[in-house]
Amino acid sequence: LGGFAVCKEYGDFYDSVYYKSVEPKRTASRHLRRLARRIGVRKNQQVLDVACGTGEWLLACKELGAFTNGVDLSERAISACKTSLGEGEYFSMPAEVLPFEDARFDVVTCLGSLEHFIDPVKALKEMVRVAKTDAIFLLLVPNADFLTRRLGLFGGTYQTDAKEEVRPLF
């Protein structure tokens, strides 16, 4: 029960601070479109984005014909995601307990969010559970050895007010 209360608190933070004035996305950035093509997102694949935010990454996948789905702690972000993407399943909930059946997804992504999770290991196990055996995984996380961090030019996002745990590569 304690974990649920913390997730609710983090969700409230994202709704009131991070996504305070969120607008639905209409198009994906060129960078995200290129990334979707590079990892091989294809028509009719089932894609899950964990901590999907407003769904910009999912828009890039949808443009390639994939079926998109997502979870995020922020109800505001999920609302914007649903408006942008329409079809698909989108839930406001923690990543540590995904509401999907086993071996459903062809592509599972988590872009720049794992460092904010309460229990990243449990979330990763859930991602593996809902992925097909031959699924593509794309996980992007910052690392403490990144040059701008080492030079003191970047100390994290303002999400550090909620939780941000950055680790070294080794």
What's the predicted TM-score (pTM) here? 0.82
* pLDDT (tens digit per residue) in 138-157: 998 876 565 555 566 555 55
Instruction: pLDDT band for 2, please (50, 70, 90 cuts).
Output: very low
CA dist list (Å): 17 to 45, 77, 118, 162: 33, 12, 18, 10
User: Domains of the chain, with CATH numbers?
Assistant: 2-159 (3.40.50.150)
Do 92 and 33 meet the contact criterion of CB atoms below 8 Å apart? Answer: no
Percent of the chain clearing pLDDT 90 (strictly above): 60
Instruction: pLDDT band for 64, please (50, 70, 90 cuts).
Output: very high
pLDDT value at 1 more than 70 = no
What's the pLDDT at 24?
77
Do 30 and 57 meet the contact criterion of CB atoms below 8 Å apart? Answer: no
* pLDDT (tens digit per residue) in 8-57: 666 676 666 766 777 778 899 999 999 999 999 999 999 999 999 999 99
Length of the chain: 170
What's the pLDDT at 56?
95
* pLDDT (tens digit per residue) in 45-56: 999 999 999 999
Better pLDDT: 133 or 156: 133
pLDDT value at 159 more than 50 = no
Do 51 and 73 meet the contact criterion of CB atoms below 8 Å apart? Answer: yes
Query: What are the tokens at 5?
Result: 């209360």
What's the pLDDT at 160?
47
Better pLDDT: 21 or 96: 96
